[in-house]
Structure 1
């Protein structure tokens, strides 16, 4: 009799724990996960006048194929990223956002603005 109560309690705890694990991936997503089209415009310096890229945000982390990308987007939309040696920060809200960036081309400082929209 006592064994059955212990077994039921253990089974109940195991099922509750398993249900929590099944929900975990959905909770890990951030409101800004997905594909983003980014346009970068140079305002000063000798960098390319403009560039376009598609970035992926997954669990708040930013990545792009073929680029050295390190950065995050917080739940409130705050962007901080380094892309191929340039640094950018800004704000996303809903399906769009923008901010500033700075970097260098051949040792000459460059800077400008960026805009992003979710695909």
Structure 2
């Protein structure tokens, strides 16, 4: 369960990474996205896939995992997010293009530090 929470926090960070600077009324990044979070270092589970929605540059997660994430997609697609779940926390950064994006994430939990990368694809 702890590994899941850490990976979930990482996922939330990545999802939140889809946001950092103030967004205008509608952005070219708005819409449905599929995000894959991959762990490269640490004891977190290897990979997760999440569906997220970007609305007015703000990332929204429709899942029921009890994750608290915050972020925005800024000009040029710059993304920065923070995600927390249980006692775990993760932060992600990256960039979105018109249909694809990616970046890195790092987080901590009771099992230690984990880090990796994320990719996103518009749906």
- TM-score higher than 0.5 here? yes
User: Which bracket does the TM-score occupy, shorter chain normalised?
Assistant: 0.7 to 0.9
What TM-score do the two structures reach when normalised by structure 1? 0.73
Partners of 2:92 and 2:104 within 8 A in 1? yes
Greater Rg by CA: 1
* Among candidates 44, 51, 56, match of residue 41 of structure 2: 44
Q: With CA pairs under 8 Å and 6+ residues apart, which has the higher RCO, 1 or 2?
A: 2
Aligned to 1:24: none
Greater share of residues in helix: 1
Structure 1: runs of 5 or more not aligned: 1-26
Distance between the aligned counterparts of 2:71 and 2:49, measured in 1? 18
What TM-score do the two structures reach when normalised by structure 2? 0.71
Structure 2: runs of 5 or more not aligned: 1-23
Aligned to 2:17: none
Aligned to 2:58: 61
- Count the aligned residue pairs: 93
Aligned to 1:79: 79
* Among candidates 28, 35, 38, match of residue 25 of structure 2: 28
